[in-house]
Amino acid sequence: MQHSNPLLLVLFLISIVSSLTTRINQPSRIRIDIGSNGAPALVFTPDSIKAQVGDTLDFHFIDQNVVSSVLLGVENSPCTPAPAGADFFNSGPILGDPDGTNVFSVNVTSDSQMILYCGVGAHCQAGMVAVVNPDKLTTLKGYAKAATGVQMNLGPPNMTGGSFTQGTSGGPVIIGFAPGAGPQKSAAGPCVGTSRRAVGGGSCVARK
């Protein structure tokens, strides 16, 4: 080749750009940690997430002595589940393990905003909230602030809308609430480790 052909060069560049674009649009797995593996902390990390349709949200329960959950809420009613429907998901109460290998996974099926909270104890009121694809920068702050004044944190017990992978650290990993446990009042603490302390008057039950 004596002279480089400008047309070929342009085509070559176009092919590079399009392959990069393809890679960017490929589905990804997004890790969100629930709790903390240092001092117990009622947090989702990160708490503001960008996700595309086809991505998977992997919620890792890493707080080894604390039971938490993640479920879909509604923006104007903090600590309340979204209506049951195709997009609804709820991990139900899960005991964290130190390896972070108790994982609840949710497929993203819409790119609209999703408010998430923890439905255990008073975790939601304490600020254990997150947002996926926020409409505006203030959404999460406003939700967290309104949550502090909520009487009841409503966390239905049944796992739905996602899949669960059991961790490697052994012991009971999924703890559900006995039927009739009802809503959890602000003052209640979480079910703790193997002692399975009751939450909000309900009893915790280990499921393996």
Ligand X SMILES: *[C@@H]1O[C@H](CO)[C@@H](O)[C@H](O)[C@H]1NC(C)=O
Residues of the shown chain interacting with ligand X in the complex, contacts defined by CB under 6 A:
107, 158, 162-163
Q: Which is nearer to ligand X, 119 or 127 (CB)?
A: 119
Bridge partner list, 160:
90
Q: Which is nearer to ligand X, 39 or 86 (CB)?
A: 86
Q: Which is nearer to ligand X, 41 or 206 (CB)?
A: 206
Q: Which of 76, 71, 79 is nearest to 183 (CA)?
A: 79
Query: Closest distance between ligand X and the C-beta of residue 142, in Å?
Result: 29
Query: Closest distance between ligand X and the C-beta of residue 156, in Å?
Result: 6
| N-terminal to C-terminal alpha carbon distance within the chain | 68
B/e letters for 35-66, b = 16+ CB within 10 Å, e = fewer, are: bbbeebebbbeebebebeeebbbbbbbbbbbb
Query: Closest distance between ligand X and the C-beta of residue 130, in Å?
Result: 19
- The DSSP result for 56-114, as a single string, is EEEEEE--TTBEE--EEEETTEEEEEPPSSTT--B---EE--TTS--EEEEE----S-E
Query: Closest distance between ligand X and the C-beta of residue 127, in Å?
Result: 27
Strand-pair category, 48-49 with 152-153: unpaired
Query: Closest distance between ligand X and the C-beta of residue 14, in Å?
Result: 30
In this structure, what token pair is assigned to residue 90?
A: 């709820």
Query: Closest distance between ligand X and the C-beta of residue 117, in Å?
Result: 18
Q: Is the bond into 156 cis (omega within 30 degrees of 0)?
A: no
Q: Which is nearer to ligand X, 27 or 201 (CB)?
A: 27
- Three-state SS at 204: strand
Q: Which is nearer to ligand X, 138 or 158 (CB)?
A: 158
Q: Which is nearer to ligand X, 54 or 142 (CB)?
A: 54
